[in-house]
Amino acid sequence: MKVTLTGTGSPIPDANRAGPSTLVQCAGQNILIDCGRGVAMRLVAIGVPAPFVSAILITHLHSDHITDLNDVITTHWVMTGIETPLNVYGPPGTQTVVDGILMMLAPDISYRLAHHTDTLTYKPNVVVTEVKPGATFAIGDVQVRVARTHHQPVEPTVAFRLEHDGKSVVLGGDGIPCDTLDEICAGADAYVQTVIREDLVKLINNKRFQDILDYHSTVEQAAQTATKAGIKKLILTHYVPSMQPGQEEEWRAFAAKYFAGEIVLGDDLTTTTI
């Protein structure tokens, strides 16, 4: 099982970090979790362009997690030689979002169909499955479990646990510690969590920015969740404020106060194997 941070940024644009997204590869599947800005380019950089994505899992419908879903849909459509469904799993409301994206893309779709009359004879085929906490499903031989997370007032938000051949990884999405997150993390090999640095956020005298403190896990909270659940490897992403070059060990130290296992963080395309 291979985990790649295909986007470690946040809603704040960063020249060096794409928006939130993570790619999990196992059992011949390329499973993309969330679709932040620039994800289609990051996928190409690791040799997994959009047509090779097996499925997309959406943790919640905040804009920074779905900004480039439209790009993945379009690229998957035009670069695939035959009509191939793109499977998208997400919380209730995902179908409405995808319908809106396809409506927005309608002029582009009509232009491409009119121009490529011999080779493109079908519209994008996006199959949405809305999932609720407690749901289970499979992507090939990969088993997926769904749990509720706490990111209010964003509702619903979910975490996904992917399992195959005795290995498991939990994708926590945004949110703060809660019992259901603890439950789905219990005993997992790895846990991917979006994090903020509370000390740095408090230095910025902006009420709207400081409002994020009450619904995002801090680095320390992510570490505490990992320790409580018996996680072996903690993978941090979605750094707010953006982690600057040379700050990696500083961020790692905040987590290491509460978690004794392996801590993975870094730039986009950071990869680890479970």
Q: How many CA atoms lie within 13 A of 274 on its CB side?
A: 29
Q: What angle do CA 17, 22, 25 make, to 5 degrees?
A: 135
Per DSSP, 28 falls in state: T
Contact between 204 and 177 under an 8 Å Cβ cutoff? The reply is no
User: 14, 64, 68, 71: which is the annotated catalytic residue?
Assistant: 64
- CB count, 10 Å around CB of 272? 17
* 3 state SS of 18: coil
Give the separation between CA 35 and CA 56, rounded to whole angstroms: 8
Integer CA distances (angstroms), 226 to 55, 148, 172, 181, 213, in order: 26, 17, 11, 10, 19
Does residue 64 carry a catalytic annotation? yes
Contact between 131 and 146 under an 8 Å Cβ cutoff? The reply is yes
Q: Give the catalytic positions in this structure.
A: 64
